[in-house]
Chain A
Amino acid sequence: MTTQPAPARAPLIAARGLTKRFGSFTAVDAIDFDVAPGESFGFLGPNGAGKTSTMRMIGCISPVTDGKLSILGLDPSSDGPRIRGQLGVVPQEDSLDTDLSVIDNLIIYGRYFGLSRAECTRRAHEMLEFAQLTERANDRVEPLSGGMKRRLTIARALINEPSILLLDEPTTGLDPQARHLLWERLYRLKQRGVTLVLTTHYMDEAEQLCDRLVVMDKAKIVAEGSPRQLIERYSSREVTELRFPVGIQETLGDRLAGIGDRIDLLPDRVLVYTSDGEAVSNAVHARGLEPETVLVRRSSLEDVFLRLTGRSLVD
C-alpha cells in the first residue's frame, strides 16, 4: 500500500488587501494574511489597531469594505450563515444570556446550529465537563465569576464542533489562575486539530498559544512570524535592564553609547538590547557607572511589540 501524499494545506482563511472603513475612518487598511488548518494564529496590537474589526470580518458579522476574504474557501458576503455554521466565536464582550441557566445557554446555542434537542443536551453536558462547570449546570449565569463566564463562553463556542475558533481577547480581565486554566483548555483544542485565531495584547498569552502571529498597528500589519522569529528579527537575544538613581538617569547622555546593539532610554530605566547581557553589565561598570539594579533577562515578545508599536499610550 502506498502512502497517501500529504493533503495540500490550502489556507482555511485567506485575506488579500482586506479593508474595513467606517465612514472616513479606516479601521483595517489592506492587510494580507493566511491561516493554515490546525494552526494557532494570533493578532497582536495595541487598542485600536484594527484587531477586533478584522476578527468581526472573519466572523462574517461585519461586511468587508474592500479586498478579498475567503474562509473555508467561501466568500463571507454570499455565504455568511454557511461559514458561521463552522465557526466558534468567543467575543471580547460577554454575550451570555444572563436570564437563562448555564446549561440552557449551551442548549439554545446548539439549536441555532440546527442540532436536535437531544444532541444539544448531550453536547452541553460534555462541554460543561470540558469547561469545569458541571456543578453549575442549573445555576443562573449572573452570579458566575468572570473566569467561569469566559469558560462558559468558550464551551458555548464549541457546541457546534467548529473547525475554526475565533477568540477576541479571551483572557482580558481574568486572574492568573483563570487565565492558566483557559490556556490549558485552548491548548487541548489545538491538539485536537481545531484552528485557533485569537487577538490579544498580552505577550505571554501570544507566546503560550500562537504558532504564528502578526503584529498590527494603526490598521496595518507591521510584522509577521512565529514568536521566536519575531524576537530574533526585531529584538536581541537578551536585554539588560539598568536602573539608575533619580537624577543620574537624565545625565547619562552619551555615556552608554556603543554598549550593546541598541539602547532604549526610558524615564525610569535603561534597556540595553544585546546578545550577551552579562558583558553589557560589565561594560557599564567598566565605564564607572553605578546602576542601582541590573537585571539580565531573555528578550520577549513584549520587547518586539514595544519596538514595533511604540511606547506612547493608545486610548
Chain B
Amino acid sequence: MALASSAPVPTLPATGDRVPRPDPVNAFRASYEHQILLYLRNWRGSLFSNFAQPVLFLLAMGVGLGTYVDKGGPDATGGVSYLQFLAPALLVSSVMQGAAGEGTFPVLAGFRWTRRYHAMYATPLTPTAIAFGQLAWNATHALMVGSIFAVVIVLFGAAATPGILWSVPIGVLTGIAFSAPIAAYMTSQRDTTAWNNIWRFGITPLFLFSGTFFPIERLPDVIRPLAWLLPLWHGVDLARALALGTAGQEPLLHLAHLAILVVVAALGAWAMFVRFRRQLEK
C-alpha cells in the first residue's frame, strides 16, 4: 500500500518528552577521556621527564649533598641517612609542583587559548563534569608522578621502610590541595602574569622552606608558624613520618596533618567547581 515518494520528506525532530535524556555518567567519563587523549599525544616525553626528575634530584641532593650532611652525624636527620630523610619529602614536593602546573596551563588553555571547555559546554556536558574531568586527570597524573618517584626511590635504596609507599597517596592529596585552588583561581585569569608571581613568590619558596630539604625547626621562630598555614609542610612531614616509621610518636600531629590536607583539598575542589560554573555560565 505504501506510495512511492520521490521527494525525501524531512522528518520532524523529536520534541518535548520524546527528546532523549543524555546519560549523566557519560558526561563525567567523556570529560576525563578527553584528558587521556591529550596525555596520549605526548606520553613518551611526559613519562621520560617523570623518571628523569627524581633521578636528577636524588643524585644531586640526596647523594651529592647528602654525603656532606651525613658527615655531621645522623642526629640532624633523625637517625637515618640524608637520602632516606629527603626521599619521601622530595616525592611529595615534586608531586605538588607537577599538580600545581596541571592546575595552571591546561585551565588557562581551556578557557582562553584553545577554549576547549567552552566547546565541551556546548554539548550535554555540565560545568561540573568539565571541572571533574580536569581535576580527576590532575589526580591521576599526580598518582603517576608519585608512583614513578617511589620506584626511583626504591632503586636508589633510599627507602628506610616500606612506609615510603604512603608518600604516594599523601603526594596525590597534597597535589590536589594545590592543583584545585590554583585551577579555581586560573579560571578568571587572562594570561600567565599572576601565575608567574604565584610560582616565583609562592611555589618555589614553599618547595625550599617547607621542610623538604631541612626540618622546619631550623627556620627562624617568626616564620615557623607560616608552615602551618600552607599545605605543603603537612604533606611533607606526614609522608616523612610514615616513611621513617615515626608517625606513632606524635599521632595527633600527624592526624592533624591529614585532616588539614583533606580540608584544603576539599575546599579547593569546591572552589574549582563553583568557579568553572561561573566562568562558563554567562
Contacts and interface: CB of A to CB of B under 8 A. Distances in A.
Interface in B143-166: none
Contacts, number: 124
A112 B21 contact: no
A72 B19 contact: yes
Contacts of A104: 37
B94 interface: no
Contacts of B123: 84-85, 109, 112-113, 160
A83 B22 CA distance: 9
B222 interface: no
B219 interface: no
Interface stretch (B114-122, B197-205, B243-251): B114-122
Contacts of A80: 126
Contacts of A86: 13-14, 19
**Highest count of chain B CB atoms <10 Å: which of A83, A93, A108, A160:** A108
B11 interface: yes
B20 interface: yes
Interface of A: 1, 7, 10, 12, 22, 37-38, 56, 59, 61-63, 72-74, 79-87, 89, 91, 93-100, 104, 108-109, 111-114, 156, 160, 163-164, 192-193, 195
A73 B34 contact: no
Interface in B1-21: 1, 3, 8, 10-16, 19-21
B218 interface: no
Interface stretch (B23-31, B77-85, B234-242, B265-273): B23-31
Given A1-B3, A97-B34, 17 more contacts: A10-B15, A59-B122, A72-B13, A74-B15, A81-B125, A83-B19, A85-B19, A85-B124, A99-B41, A112-B26, A113-B22, A113-B124, A114-B23, A114-B30, A160-B123, A164-B13, A193-B10
B123 to A, nearest CB: 4
B281 A81 contact: no
Contact of A192 (B10, B37, B38): B10
Interface residue tally on B, bucketed by range = 35 or more
Contact of B121 (A61, A72, A73, A82): A61
A100 B19 contact: no
Interface of A is mostly: loop
A252 to B, nearest CB: 49
A82 B115 contact: no
Contact of B124 (A7, A100, A114, A164): A114
B282 interface: yes
B38 A99 contact: yes
Nearest to A190: B10
A12 B13 contact: yes
Contacts of A96: 114, 119
A202 B23 CA distance: 39
6 contacts: A1-B3, A38-B10, A84-B122, A86-B13, A91-B122, A97-B119
